[in-house]
Amino acid sequence: MEDDYFHSVTLDASLCKGCTVCIKGCPTEAIRVQKGRAWIIPERCIDCGECIRTCPSGAKKAISDPLSLLVHFDYTVAIPAPTLYGQFRSTISCNRILTALKTLGFDDVYEVAAAAEILSQETRDYLGRDQGKGALISSSCPVVVRLVETRFPSLLDQLIPMISPMELSARIVREREKDRPGSVGVFFISPCAAKVTDVKNPRGISLSSVDGVIGIKDIYKELSLAVAQVEVEENLNIASALGISWARTDGEGSAVYSENHISVDGIDHVIDVLENLENGHIRDVDFVEMMSCPGGCVGGPLAVENPYVARNIVCTRERRHQEGNCTVPAELPHLPEGIDLFWTEALESRATHLLDHDYKTAMKMMEEMEVIRGSLPGLDCGACGAPSCLALAEDIVRGKTTEIDCVFKLREKIRDLTREMIALDSHMPPGLDR
């Protein structure tokens, strides 16, 4: 299944101590520990970065693109996530940060926050048209989109089929620079590991307009020095408080101005709300903003600042912009004609928890799984390298392991064998038995 699917989140096996901490924290049970090392089940991984946050040995990491990639293009444009503004004291202006970013080797910058404003307006319009699908779910967080595809495919119809602010920014830049001779490289400056995956395996579109995703943490040191050295700030900040607020939880929800919206952050809460939506337990809600990271993108695994501090900085910047009457931009950032804001490809179910595509076989396997689970101690200790006894039972019916991975089952087996050996030892062939 999806053998060529690229994952940003990976394991550095040389650092892994096999401690099993990550298997418990993975929201999709995508990690196992075997032979003293963790490994990730690719089709289950949603690149949420939870294991990066929880691994005490720093063995999980997100692969992103290096700044050196810029040399392959004649003209380069940085498209920074609104979260970048949360990484520097609020007294440092957005213009100063953007000017410093340019000095790292970019020819221009375009704020993703500006594209977020355009998409806020589009989402408002989309919600205004009676879709008749129940609560509509934001598709701006790629982890949520992947989670719906793999675990909640019945909710695929409720995802708003709109491209992300990152993708729209890249399309705007490409349109603006379309007559420029030579190659144009567009680079997202990202707090998000899943965006790296999203650019390589886009959902809803066939090809991303982004050429590379550079982690904020990878350029932070250099950027901080550059921020301190800016002499003349360029006037590069076009986004208002509305777009900047997308960095934190409830930013998108409020920007869409839906009275009946809820904002959910943190992967466990996201899963809980998706379960409730699937079961029809959430009513009278038009719009659900969902962010996999705690606090929203400010909590992304490639960000540097503490998410609570970053959120506070973002809110302070929003207030400042509001004082300058920028809460609602008098005019939305310019959207060049001909840019499609919607997905062009339908999303399909990629359910990974199905035991088999044949219903009868799946039911039989489910029964076997229940029997095996009943025979396991139910301690969910993780010593087998699976996150729970149920997960081990599933691995066994899938033919990936055997029940003696369970230490209790292994002891039982050793006891049985010992009894058998003692019985055999005292047994004499009839001809010798006097």
Residues that bind ligand SF4 (CB under 6 A): 11, 16-22, 33, 38, 55, 57, 59-60, 141, 143, 191-192, 194-195, 291-293, 296-297, 300
Backbone φ, ψ for residue 265 (5° rounding): -135, 155
Kindly state the smallest distance separating residue 31's Cβ from ligand SF4, in Å.
Answer: 7
Nearer to ligand SF4, 48 or 369 (CB): 48
CA 144 to CA 135: how far, in whole Å? 15
**Residue 81: CB minimum distance to ligand SF4, A:** 8
Cβ nearer to ligand SF4, comparing 55 with 393: 55
**How far is 126 from 118, CA to CA, in rounded Å?**
12
94 vs 196 by CB, closer to ligand SF4 = 196
Compute the least distance from the CB of residue 53 to ligand SF4, in Å.
Answer: 10
Closest to ligand SF4 by CB, 191 vs 387, is: 191
What stretches of 26-111 show up as alpha helix (H) in DSSP? 50-54, 94-103
> How far from 252 is each of 62, 73, 116, 234, 434, CA to CA, in Å?
25, 33, 8, 27, 88
Instruction: Report how far residue 82's alpha carbon sits from residue 251's, in angstroms, rounded to the nearest whole number.
Output: 11
Output the smallest distance, CB 359 to ligand SF4, in A: 34
Which pair of tokens denotes residue 303? Answer: 């960000």
Provide, rounded to whole angstroms, the least separation between the CB of residue 385 and ligand SF4. Answer: 9
Residue 275 CB neighbour total at 10 angstroms: 13
- Rounded to a whole number of angstroms, the minimum distance from the CB of residue 88 to ligand SF4 is 18
Please identify which residue in the block is written with the tokens 């590991």.
193
CA 47/CA 196 separation, integer angstroms? 9
Between CA 324 and CA 87 the distance in angstroms is 22
CB of 24 to ligand SF4, least distance (A): 9
Supply the minimum distance, in Å, between the C-beta of residue 117 and ligand SF4: 17
Which structure tokens are listed for 370? 């229940």
CB of 191 to ligand SF4, least distance (A): 5
Minimum distance from residue 180 beta carbon to ligand SF4 (Å): 29
For ligand SF4, give the closer residue by CB, 230 or 302. 302
Residue 178 backbone class (left: φ over 0; alpha: ψ -120 to 50; beta: rest)? alpha
What burial class does residue 139 get, using C-beta atoms within 10 Å of its C-beta: 0-12 exposed, 13-18 middle, 19+ buried? Answer: buried
Comparison of 11 and 244: residue with beta carbon closer to ligand SF4: 11
CA 44 to chain centre: 12
Q: Tell me how far apart the alpha carbons of residues 199 and 47 are, in angstroms, rounded to a whole number.
A: 13
Nearest to ligand SF4 of 136, 144 (CB atom) = 144
**What is the spatial distance between Cα 374 and Cα 394, in angstroms, rounded to a whole number?**
12
CB-count burial class (<10 Å; 0-12, 13-18, 19+) for 434: exposed
Q: Are strands 60-62 and 9-11 parallel, antiparallel or unpaired?
A: antiparallel
- Residues 269 and 387: their CA atoms lie apart, in Å, by 19
Residue 12 or 275 having the CB closest to ligand SF4? 12
Q: How far apart are CA 221 and CA 100, in angstroms?
A: 12
Q: Which is nearer to ligand SF4, 20 or 258 (by Cβ)?
A: 20
- Using the minimum distance from each CB to ligand SF4, give the nearer residue, 297 or 372: 297
Nearer to ligand SF4, 108 or 253 (CB): 253
